[in-house]
A = this chain, B = another copy of it.
Amino acid sequence: MTLKSLACTISAVLLAGCGSTVATQTYNADLIITNGQILTINSEMDVIEDGVVVVKNDQIIAVGNEDLITQYRAEKVIDAQDGIVMPGMVNAHNHLPMIAFRGLGEEGISNRLFAYFFPLEAEKLSRELIYNATKLGSIELAQSGVTTYADMYYHMDEMAKATKEVGLRAVLGETVIKFPVVDAKEPHGGIEYAKGFIEQYKNDELITPAYAPHAVYTVSKDKLQEINKLSAQYDVPVLIHVAEFPNEEKRIKDQTKATSPVEYMDEIGVLDERVVIAHGIHLSENDQKLLKQADAGISYNPMANAKGATGIAPAWEMYRADMRIGLGTDGPMSSNQVDIMRTLSYAANMQRLKHSDRTIMIPEQVIEMATLGGAKALHMEDQIGSLEVGKKADIVIVETQSANMMPSYDPYATLVYQANPSNIDTTIVNGQIVMENRVMQTVQLDDIRQSVDEFEADITEFAKELSKKAIKSKSLMD
């Protein structure tokens, strides 16, 4: 991919050479991408060969064939020759700062959440770690073509700050849980913490603040209901883990006779169109119906769910039912990497295994799920998820000239089954070029290398001791 910084503008003059008379009306833009194979992900799933995307400020103002270059001029032109131009991918479920801990506790620990994650977080989490780890993770996201991610964690103001420095879009949910945690010593203290965070970021152009009640079995009924009311009042999303484990409702059997966490949420009045559930592995047909009726979003996390042996979500069923389903990695202690590229093949392959049918979840459907599907899951499809006029300029260019990308007969199959994160060439978010020709434009990895080395050294010894204890612990899933 080569960049042309043209002294004269791209417009009718291009055809006649610089300095000649402008033959037709041209409009000013900020950025023009030319020559790419454009996957629009519009309702017709149009693919435009040698297409053009025009950006002004934070928006896409034109998408079409090569004729468009006679109508617009911009100082910045990116020649996407031999590249695939697509909407930025959406990672619909993450706990990004856990990147500080990824690779730990991989020795075969069954009760990993309670015996490993929580003690590690209790000991090592800090504001500073959350900020630095978010920066590292956001760089990895940008480098792999993710332009929007949704997250459930702590000190979300630190996450917002780091995410904005890198230049990504994010839905950041402040965790509410009935245990003392790093940013709230009182049970459910996240509700109070979230207030300030939401008020600070409510109108931010990149950050959508949210509530993140951990799960129905770790947040009390009245607090779930309080969060529901507050989310309506602020009009912000509610991110929650649901049906990750079988029979989660049994953990709250003193509170309900519901036969599933989804039924319980419906029963207590907290299942609405602001909810985004993560995992949704153990969903009955009725659960799926309730989620559809509520117009809730779903993050399908096939790679993490396989690694954690938690199962395969009924994603094909929900996709076919035109539900709001996108792809997520889960946190870096569950998926280890945070890019969506690796999750793409899992998204298809797990459904094919589950249904013993190689003809389902074809690559085109997977890419739709990774882009527009994620946008729908987060209720952001009016802003992102496709390359269409009026959408935010969240755009990724993928090169196809490396050995692993050759040949490229079908761009969707190339992306799902051949591409690696290193094939992402350029990442644009909200009209800003975050990475170009594989070079980060906003922050540099070297800026945080020392802090990563420091937290790695600090965590290493503690983690060794923790592993020894955790490996003996009994599984909650038993």
> Which A residues are closer than 8 A to B by beta carbons?
100, 102-104, 106-110, 112, 136, 139-140, 143-144, 303, 306-312, 335-337, 339, 342, 345-346, 348-350, 352-353, 355-360, 362-363, 401-404, 406-410, 412-414, 417-418, 420-422, 445, 449, 452, 455-456, 459-460, 463
Residues of B within 8 A of A307 (CB): 345, 348-349, 352, 358, 417
Whether the Cβ atoms of A308 and B358 lie closer than 8 Å is yes
Give complex CA distance A339, B355 in Å. 26
Give complex CA distance A359, B418 in Å. 29
Give complex CA distance A404, B438 in Å. 14
Provide a sorted-by-A list of 11 A–B residue pairs whose CB atoms are within 8 angstroms. A102-B418, A110-B359, A136-B406, A309-B355, A309-B357, A312-B353, A346-B349, A404-B421, A406-B449, A407-B455, A422-B422
Q: A455's closest neighbor in chain B, by CB? A: B407
With A307-B358, A359-B110, A456-B407 as known contacts, state yes or no: A420 contacts B417, CB within 8 Å: no
Give complex CA distance A38, B102 in Å. 21
Give complex CA distance A342, B463 in Å. 27
Whether the Cβ atoms of B407 and A463 lie closer than 8 Å is no
A358 → B minimal CB distance (Å): 4
Q: A406's closest neighbor in chain B, by CB? A: B452
Whether the Cβ atoms of A418 and B349 lie closer than 8 Å is no
Whether the Cβ atoms of A418 and B352 lie closer than 8 Å is no
Whether the Cβ atoms of A417 and B336 lie closer than 8 Å is yes
Whether the Cβ atoms of B106 and A410 lie closer than 8 Å is yes
With A417-B335, A445-B403 as known contacts, state yes or no: A410 contacts B303, CB within 8 Å: no
A120 → B minimal CB distance (Å): 12
With A358-B112, A445-B403 as known contacts, state yes or no: A309 contacts B409, CB within 8 Å: no
Q: Which of B306, B345, B413, B456 has a CB less than 8 Å from the CB of A350?
A: B306
Using A309-B355, A420-B422 as known contacts, list a sample of 13 further A-B pairs with CB atoms less than 8 Å apart, ordered by residue number in A: A100-B407, A103-B413, A104-B413, A106-B413, A109-B359, A110-B359, A136-B403, A139-B403, A306-B352, A307-B349, A309-B358, A342-B342, A346-B349
Residues of B within 8 A of A337 (CB): 404, 417-418
With A337-B418, A418-B337 as known contacts, state yes or no: A102 contacts B407, CB within 8 Å: yes
Give complex CA distance A198, B452 in Å. 53
Q: A104's closest neighbor in chain B, by CB? A: B409
Residues of B within 8 A of A410 (CB): 103-104, 106
Q: A349's closest neighbor in chain B, by CB? A: B306
Give complex CA distance A44, B114 in Å. 32
Whether the Cβ atoms of A409 and B463 lie closer than 8 Å is yes
Most buried by B among A352, A409, A449: A409
Residues of B within 8 A of A355 (CB): 309
A437 → B minimal CB distance (Å): 15
Residues of B within 8 A of A403 (CB): 136, 139-140, 143, 445
Residues of B within 8 A of A356 (CB): 309, 311
Give complex CA distance A346, B413 in Å. 19
A419 → B minimal CB distance (Å): 9
Q: Which of B110, B346, B353, B362 has a CB less than 8 Å from the CB of A358?
A: B110
